[in-house]
Amino acid sequence: MSYILPFIFEERPIRGKLICLTSVFKEVVGSKKYPKSAKRNLAELLIFSAYLGSSLKSDGSISIQFQSEGLLKMAFVECRSNLELRGIVKPDESVPLDSDDEVFQEDDVSRAKLAITIFRENVDQAYQSLVPVESADFKSIFRDYINQSEQIETVLEILVSDEEIYGLFLQKMPGENNALLDDNGVPFELADIVLQAEYWDVKNLSPEELLQQLFSAHLLRVFDKSEVVMKCNCKREKVEKLILVLGEDDANKLLEEQGTIRVDCEMCGKVEEFDKIDIATIFNDKRKIESSLSKKH
């Protein structure tokens, strides 16, 4: 199960979210073949989108899109307010699948763009924010974005391995009097508290047990976790609309050349196929609708 688990420190003005996307990430990747570092970049983007999606106050979605002229050409992830997640990454075709080299490199920073877009249901206009890309480290980019946009001191740890995908967010709670002090009343940095998180031993541990391991010296209040699932929003009806845009003549030409019109979803791998009967039905239905509308007018 993939999940988001919120918690707070009972004796410190600190809140946090533990995010596990291990099972969802396997579904997102599916049968796609990615170089190791591209998979890691995709996992980091998914962790951050899940964090942002869990913070949405109304129904909708939040997407993150990355583009570059370097080896990491494109990445796109989306999280809906009900924590349905999807994503894809496209490294340059020249990158070997067995390569351990980073596909997002420092030389590419000046040529990279990162945008976060918020869609709200029943609202026509989307809100988009361009995120400064000042390093080839997504974790640093995300941390700086939260610190600047939410004006809340935040630290972030991410674990991406062949078997586990975890994200840990800690934030200082808003309030002028919420100073971070140790047991002796000495100020400390928020980052100091996650030093124990440098080593994650997550196997066979429940979410609550993992938090206890990470923060054994602190008393926590743990809230109910929310399940995160992988779900694509591709639908056959959407493909039918694309075929209508293509036009009947061109659609029939494709049928003659290929036998069927086949459309693969890059996100989830789902395949939609249309034969001669399907194509004839699509355009016949269109004519019936147009005829009905013309009679009304």
Helix axes 236-246, 276-296, angle to 10 degrees: 80
The Cα 25–Cα 270 span in angstroms is 17
Task: Classify 107 as helix, strand or coil.
Answer: helix
- Which of 65-69, 196-200, 238-242: highest mean pLDDT? 65-69
Residues of the domain holding 10: 2-230
The Cα 111–Cα 69 span in angstroms is 6
Is residue 17 domain-shared with residue 93, that is, in the same domain? yes
Choose one of 188, 208, 230: the last residue of a domain: 230
The Cα 85–Cα 262 span in angstroms is 25
Phi, psi of 21 (to 5 degrees): -125, 25
Counting Cα atoms < 13 Å in the Cβ hemisphere of 73 gives: 9
Is residue 63 domain-shared with residue 155, that is, in the same domain? yes
- Whole-angstrom CA distances from 98 to 7, 33, 93, 95, 195 are 38, 10, 13, 9, 32
Confidence of residue 15 (pLDDT cuts 50, 70, 90): very high
Is residue 132 domain-shared with residue 277, that is, in the same domain? no
Is residue 55 domain-shared with residue 180, that is, in the same domain? yes
Confidence of residue 226 (pLDDT cuts 50, 70, 90): very high
* Inter-residue contact 268 to 30 (CB < 8 Å): yes
Is residue 262 domain-shared with residue 165, that is, in the same domain? no
Confidence of residue 17 (pLDDT cuts 50, 70, 90): very high
Task: Work out the average pLDDT over 26-39.
Answer: 90
Is residue 213 domain-shared with residue 266, that is, in the same domain? no
Q: Name the average pLDDT for the chain.
A: 86
Shortest CA distance to 24 belongs to which of 226, 211, 168, 231? 231
Residue-wise pLDDT tens digits, 76-134: 999 999 999 999 999 999 998 888 889 999 999 999 999 999 998 877 778 899 999 99
| pLDDT score of 65 more than 80 | yes
63-67, 123-127, 189-193: segment of lowest average pLDDT: 189-193
Shortest CA distance to 35 belongs to which of 117, 97, 79, 94? 97
Question: What is the CB neighbour count within 10 angstroms for residue 83?
Answer: 19
Burial class from Cβ neighbours inside 10 Å (0-12, 13-18, 19+) for residue 107 reads: exposed
Name the more confident of 265 and 207. Answer: 207
Is residue 168 domain-shared with residue 276, that is, in the same domain? no
Is residue 110 domain-shared with residue 8, that is, in the same domain? yes
Name the more confident of 292 and 66. Answer: 66
- Whole-angstrom CA distances from 76 to 165, 175, 189, 227, 262 are 18, 35, 33, 21, 23
27-31, 134-138, 288-292: segment of lowest average pLDDT: 288-292
Counting Cα atoms < 13 Å in the Cβ hemisphere of 37 gives: 16
Number of independent structural domains in the chain: 2
Counting Cα atoms < 13 Å in the Cβ hemisphere of 112 gives: 25
Is residue 211 domain-shared with residue 267, that is, in the same domain? no
- Type of residue numbered 195: L
| pLDDT score of 197 more than 70 | no
Task: Work out the average pLDDT over 26-47.
Answer: 92
The Cα 85–Cα 268 span in angstroms is 11
Is residue 181 domain-shared with residue 263, that is, in the same domain? no
The Cα 92–Cα 144 span in angstroms is 27
Confidence of residue 181 (pLDDT cuts 50, 70, 90): low
Residue-wise pLDDT tens digits, 250-259: 889 888 888 8
The domain that holds 257 is classified in CATH as: 3.90.1280.10
pLDDT of residue 123: 78
